[in-house]
Amino acid sequence: MSPRVSVWITNAVFLSFIVVSLFYSLVHFENQNLKTETANLNEEKNRSFAIVQELSRVKNQFPIAYQCHYSFGLSNGSLHEITERIPYSIYKKLRLGDTIQVYKKEIRIFGKQTAISRIKGNEEPLPLLENLERYFQYGFIYLLVLVGFTFIVRVLGLLSQTYPSRQKLNETDEIVVNNSQD
């Protein structure tokens, strides 16, 4: 194996670490922004009305969970649809086509205009970008370990197997000298 291969591997690990770090930072700051917007969602100025489109039970989950799919209008006139997890106490009161009170707020996530909302009285947590943030966090930690390992290998010179030993260098020098004398 030539010494150049290990340099390519090291450079690829460092570049991957930088890319995943940038993505993790972006998702982390967007998730923090989303959490602050969600905390201010239950204010009276954000109250609006929505129409129930679908009610369903989440399959294969214990304890039993329910969800409500509803739509409402945005300030630009378009219709926005949201699916929200709800407790049984709200589920048993709702019917298809009902008008319900919601708290809604229009925000930007990754530069795209969207909206977040919550049914009045619902205490279930909103789905944020936590799974995406956790995915990039695990990638960040994995690549941090790889960067540490490659840093140790490259800086401390632990790649003695990939570089020719002094004995082999001396033998090749003798062969070159003997061949040049012939």
Q: Kindly list the structural domains of the chain, giving each domain's residue range(s) and its CATH number in brackets, ordered by start.
A: 3-22+133-181 (no CATH), 40-127 (2.40.50)
Nearest to 30 by CA among 107, 99, 85, 94: 107
Whole-angstrom CA distances from 101 to 16, 49, 72, 119 are 46, 5, 10, 6
pLDDT at 53: 92
Please report, in tens digits, the pLDDT of each residue of the chain (182 residues total): 445 546 777 778 788 888 888 988 888 898 888 888 888 888 888 888 999 999 888 887 778 888 899 998 888 888 888 888 888 888 888 888 889 999 998 888 888 888 888 888 888 877 777 788 888 889 888 888 888 887 777 766 655 555 555 666 666 656 655 555 65
Complete DSSP assignment for the chain: --HHHHHHHHHHHHHHHHHHHHHHHHHHHHHHHHHHHHHTTTSGGGEEEEEEEEEEEETT-SS-EEEEEEEEE-TTS-EEEEEEEE-HHHHTT--TT-EEEEEEEEEEETTEEEEEEEETT--SPP--SHHHHHHHHHHHHHHHHHHHHHHHHHHTT--TTTSPPHHHHHHHHHHHHHHHH-
pTM for this structure?
A: 0.63
The residue type at 148: G
Cα–Cα distance, 105 to 142 (Å, whole number): 36
Sheet with 79-86: list strands edge to edge: 79-86, 65-73, 47-58, 99-109, 112-119
Cα–Cα distance, 46 to 120 (Å, whole number): 11
Nearest to 146 by CA among 11, 27, 23, 22: 11
